[in-house]
Amino acid sequence: MRVEVYDEQGMAMGELNLDPGQTPARTQTSLSHEFIPDWERAHDDEGNLRRCIACGCDHLYRHRTLPRVTGFVIVLALAVAAASVLGLASGWPMLVGMTALLIIDVAILLWRNEVLICYRCRTRYWDLTIARYHNAWNRRTAHRMRRGEQRFDVNSSDSA
Ligand SMILES: [Zn+2]
């Protein structure tokens, strides 16, 4: 599991990597911040993460992420399309190009992974099995969390 830690003001504290079953009492992040994880009731019966180990919040949501390479593929697809419209590429080169794009697309679909994010401190958890009861981001829960944590919220510009 890779953890991207944020403090309650939303400041990035760096990352840390934890092997499955590893529950250190204290550790250091990649930005040399001391981090004391809260492991109490952090895992459910199946050993999946249930609570945020940074702030102890019970509310986490799942979020699908796409690798940065996607932008490159879109540009490449547009270039291939433009070349075919202009008649610059036809026949075999075109076919090879489209096949390569298709393979890259499928690979990206397989690579894209889900991340678990804490509603309260926005700490992100990568490369882990996400329990079924964690849902996608929910406006109502987010609003409730924000109201409950207003004293920590330094940039509550929108009141929606
Ligand atoms: Zn948290």
Closest CA to 50 of 113, 104, 128: 128
> Nearest to residue 149, comparing CAs of 63, 52, 65, 64?
52
pLDDT at 48 > cutoff 70: yes
What is the model's pLDDT at position 95? 73
Q: How far apart are CA 127 and CA 125, in angstroms?
A: 7
Residue 141 CA to ligand 1 center (angstroms) comes to: 14
Rg (C-alpha) for the chain, rounded Å, is: 21
Nearest partner of 42 among 55, 34, 51, judged by Cα: 51
How far is Cα 33 from Cα 60, in angstroms, rounded to an integer?
Answer: 23
Ligand 1 center from residue 8 Cα (angstroms): 8
Q: What spacing in Å lies between the alpha carbon of 110 and ligand 1's midpoint?
A: 28
Tokens of 144: 């409730």
Q: How far is the CA of 115 from the centre of ligand 1 (A)?
A: 14
Nearest CA among 128, 149, 121 for reference residue 60: 121
Cα of 67 vs centre of ligand 1, distance in Å, is 24
- Is residue 72 within a helix (H) or strand (E), and if so which, with residue range? helix 69-85
Quote the ligand 1 centre to 117 CA distance (angstroms): 8
- Per-residue pLDDT, averaged over 77-88, amounts to 76
pLDDT of residue 70: 67
Domain boundaries, the chain: 2-64+113-148, 69-111
H or E stretch at 117: strand 114-118
**Each residue of 139-155: pLDDT tens digit?**
999 998 877 665 444 45
Length of the chain: 160
Q: For residue 6, how far is its CA from the centre of ligand 1 (angstroms)?
A: 8
Ion ligand 1 neighbours (CB, 5 A) are 52, 54-55, 57, 118, 120-121, 123
The arithmetic mean of pLDDT across residues 35-48, rounded, is: 93
> Strands 124-126 and 34-35: what pairing?
unpaired
Average pLDDT, the chain: 83
The closest alpha carbon to 5, from 136, 13, 83, 104, belongs to 13
Class of residue 126 by CB neighbours under 10 A (exposed 0-12, middle 13-18, buried 19+): middle
Distance CA 141, CA 10 (A): 18
